[in-house]
Amino acid sequence: MKALIPTGDSAEPVVLADVPEPTPHANEVLVKVEAFSINRGETFKLESPTAGDRPGKDVAGLVVQPAADGSGPTGIVRVVGHPMAGGWAEYAAVPTDALAVLPDTVCAVRGAALPLAGLTALRLLRTAGTLLGRRVLLTGASGGVGHYVTELAAASGAEITAVTRDAERGARLTELGAAEIVHAVADARGPYDLVLESTGGAALPLALARLAKRGTLIWFGQASRTPATLDFFAFFDGPESGVIRHFHYLDADTRLGDDLAALVRLTAEGRLHPEIGRVGDWADTATVLTDLRERRIRGKAVLTLS
């Protein structure tokens, strides 16, 4: 079968190659991939690939071989899945606890845009707790996660201030429920009950300074790839007794498949709208990787298999 494999070359980070078709484990189904999405974090991992690396965590397609242990769907069923690797290929092995059935009303392109970004947003907000009536500051809001967080949090009653680089990238966030758009953390007017921070570097202490007393800052990314420096005494100037919490989307009590099913249901009901800034053929993956890395794509990038 054909699959995209890393090259280690920044100019052309992946190439199509012939590789063996995956042999699923007993608890995995074999999916004929129709579409997959790319996450910005995956572009960084391609800088220094190790031998045998096979990228790809977000896929949608048809189950063509059920799991040997009897778990998961049987028959030719449309699904969205979240394997830990190997999704940028014609076929992918996906654990049955990391997939959900797609109804006819959710196409493969929208389905493929759901897994990593949607799971991160859903679980991040679950970690944050009650949102009704709370003022929330969200950094890095124009990416895939940010659009999902904005829509889900606004629907839960939060007042969202979204930080995004420019007006064009922030326009859709207003439609999804953001109360205010600012283009730098320094422009945000606090205090905020909750800060969701994904940028790191200089943005983190600025965001912390806008946290309310006894508020919570959840740090879920470092898109700037720059270390952050915090001053303990700065807490006394504003967020006294504030909490800083690290978040990783895989640290959860619920199954990936259950949360994927929730995202699919919300999408099918018209309550969640995947923001897809680029759809293309997978032959153009190298170009899309560069554009995503350089922030030339708003929301998600989805590639289809011709």
Q: Which of 38-52, 175-189, 232-246 has the highest mean pLDDT?
A: 175-189
52-99: pLDDT as tens digits = 889 999 999 999 999 999 999 988 899 999 999 999 999 999 999 999
pTM of the model: 0.95
Q: What is the DSSP string of 63-76?
A: EEE--TTS-S--SS
Residue type for 234, please? A
Kindly state the DSSP code that residue 177 receives in the 8-state scheme.
T
Question: How far apart, in whole angstroms, are the C-alpha atoms of residue 149 and residue 138?
Answer: 8
Name the band, by pLDDT with cuts 50, 70 and 90, for residue 9: confident
pLDDT at 224: 86
pLDDT at 74: 87
Strand partners, 63: 31
Helix (H, G, I), strand (E, B) or coil at 235: helix
Residues 6+ apart with CB under 8 A from 125: 131, 149, 152, 153, 156
pLDDT at 49: 86
Q: What is the mean pLDDT of the chain?
A: 94
* Residue 166 near residue 145, CB atoms below 8 Å: no
Name the band, by pLDDT with cuts 50, 70 and 90, for residue 236: confident
Q: Any idea how long the chain is?
A: 306
Say whether 117-246 and 2-114+274-304 share the same fold: no
Q: Is the pLDDT of residue 118 over 90?
A: yes
Name the band, by pLDDT with cuts 50, 70 and 90, for residue 11: confident
Question: How far apart, in whole angstroms, are the C-alpha atoms of residue 301 and residue 292?
Answer: 8
* Residue 267 near residue 274, CB atoms below 8 Å: yes
**Could you state, in order of their start, the residue ranges of all structural domains in the chain?**
2-114+274-304, 117-246
**Least confident window among 127-136, 223-232, 258-267:** 223-232
Mean pLDDT across 149-173: 92
Residues 6+ apart with CB under 8 A from 291: 278, 297, 301
Residue located via tokens 């707790």: 129
- The structural architecture, per CATH, of the domain 2-114+274-304 is Alpha-Beta Complex (3.90)
Helix (H, G, I), strand (E, B) or coil at 85: coil
pLDDT at 41: 87
pLDDT at 166: 80
269-298: pLDDT as tens digits = 999 999 999 999 999 999 999 999 888 999
CA angle (245 as vertex; 243, 250 as ends), nearest 5 = 160
Segment holding 222, helix H or strand E: none
Residues 6+ apart with CB under 8 A from 129: none
pLDDT at 147: 96
* Check whether domain 117-246 has CATH 3.40.50.1370, yes or no: no
Question: How far apart, in whole angstroms, are the C-alpha atoms of residue 127 and residue 133?
Answer: 17
Burial pattern 42-63, b for ≥16 Cβ within 10 A else e, equals bbeebeebeeeebbbbbbbbbb
Q: Are strands 300-304 and 243-246 parallel, antiparallel or unpaired?
A: unpaired
99-113: pLDDT as tens digits = 999 999 999 999 999
Mean pLDDT across 231-259: 92
Segment holding 204, helix H or strand E: helix 203-208
Name the band, by pLDDT with cuts 50, 70 and 90, for residue 167: confident
Question: How far apart, in whole angstroms, are the C-alpha atoms of residue 55 and residue 33?
Answer: 14
Q: Is the pLDDT of residue 234 over 90?
A: no
Q: Is the pLDDT of residue 44 over 90?
A: no
pLDDT at 214: 95
pLDDT at 170: 82
Q: Is the pLDDT of residue 257 over 90?
A: yes
pLDDT at 220: 94
Tell whether omega for the bond before 191 is within 30 degrees of 0, i.e. cis.
Answer: yes
* Residue 222 near residue 199, CB atoms below 8 Å: yes
Segment holding 45, helix H or strand E: helix 40-45
Q: Is the pLDDT of residue 238 over 90?
A: no
Mean pLDDT across 174-189: 95
Q: Quote the tokens at residue 21.
A: 């078709």
Mean pLDDT across 194-218: 95
Mean pLDDT across 7-35: 94
Percent of the chain scoring above 90 in pLDDT: 82
